Amino acid sequence: MRIQRALARGGVASRRRAEELVAAGRVTVNGAVARTGQIVDPAVDKIVVDGEVVARARESQWLVLNKPTGVLTTRRDPGGRATVFDMLPDIPALTYVGRLDYLTEGVLLLTTDGDAAHALTHPSREVERTYVALVRGDGERAARNALRGITLEDGDMEVRDATAVSLGKGLWDFTVTLAEGRNRAVRRLCEALGLEVQRLVRTKFGPVSLGDLKPGKTRELTARERRAIAEITALDR
């Protein structure tokens, strides 16, 4: 990570203030004066500010939950309904990366790295999300129309990929990939395409796939998934 981020995560100062400390020559890395934007590894490098060694930041934690239907993506609900945090280990500062609505299932990323969570959901990153919807209607025509582009009440929506597999009796598995996290995006897309959604599952968020993870269960991200996320979120660090 960049030196200013390492200082911020080490509790030294905000990122902006950390940049000022580096520019003033008050920070060293392994005995050498740090450079603005320098890449460091806090777990290995010795970082010193004004003669004081910066405590090594704890490695961020990453989980993926297979969110079941009928569960809220929030920390607590005044009405007493179940939330995703009821299914998670007690990890301080754990936050979700984007939301899934009450009835939508599937991949929900969670992390203790708030900056990375923000980066993954920022429109400029265009991180792809893939959903599989069980729908009633003309799935084949809907897939063709989706790829031409759809305009919703809050603007145009770009669909990266859309396919439909007939299940018979008017039902389809409608798979769609978007690069945005607009509120209820897939449900509104399906409505605009004339499809009735009966079930909706997010099967992939960026490099993280659902796989065979059971509903309500979590797993830690693999090293490959973490490296892929680091590449996405390190663009401005």
Whether 101 is catalytic:
yes
Please give the single-letter amino acid code of residue 133: A
**Residue 125, SS3?**
helix
What is the SS3 assignment for 24-52? CCCEEECCEECCCCCECCCCCCCEEECCE
Q: Which of 4, 112, 6, 5 is nearest to 54 (CA)?
A: 6
Neighbours of 28 (CB within 10 A): 18
- State the catalytic residue, choosing from 45, 101, 138, 173: 101
CA distance 205 to 202: 8
Residues designated catalytic: 101
